[in-house]
Amino acid sequence: MLVNRKDLVVGEKYFMDGSRRVVGTFTKRIDESIYFDCGEDCGSYIPSALAGIEGLVGFWGDFGTGFEPVEEIN
């Protein structure tokens, strides 16, 4: 089930896209932009080098798609 941008929860993990290869932790929202921390495995995403969002992957546009939560297996 996809989660809309407005419903993302800080600290929760989501797949970055439909390939389900890269996982990011939703970190912050600044205006219309959302940012994820994907650690050292960002796949083809390029982390920001800008102060305040360094190391985070940003999404600026809303294309009507959501993000799939990563289900933790216990």
pLDDT tens digits, residue range 14-68? 999 889 999 999 999 998 899 999 999 899 999 999 999 999 999 987 666 789 9
Look at residue 37 and tell me if it is in a domain: yes
Q: Considering just the CA atoms, what is the radius of gyration of the chain in Å?
A: 12
**Does 24 map to a domain?**
yes
Residue 36: which domain range?
Answer: 5-63
Q: What pLDDT score does 47 carry?
A: 95
Tell whether 27 is covered by a domain: yes
Q: How far apart are CA 39 and CA 56, in angstroms?
A: 8
Please tell me the predicted confidence (pLDDT) of residue 73: 74
pTM: 0.89
b/e string for 6-36 if b means 16 or more Cβ within 10 A?
A: eebeeeebbbbeeeeebbbbbbeeeeeebbb
Count of structural domains, the chain: 1
Is 50 domain-assigned? yes
Tell me: pLDDT of 74 over 70: no
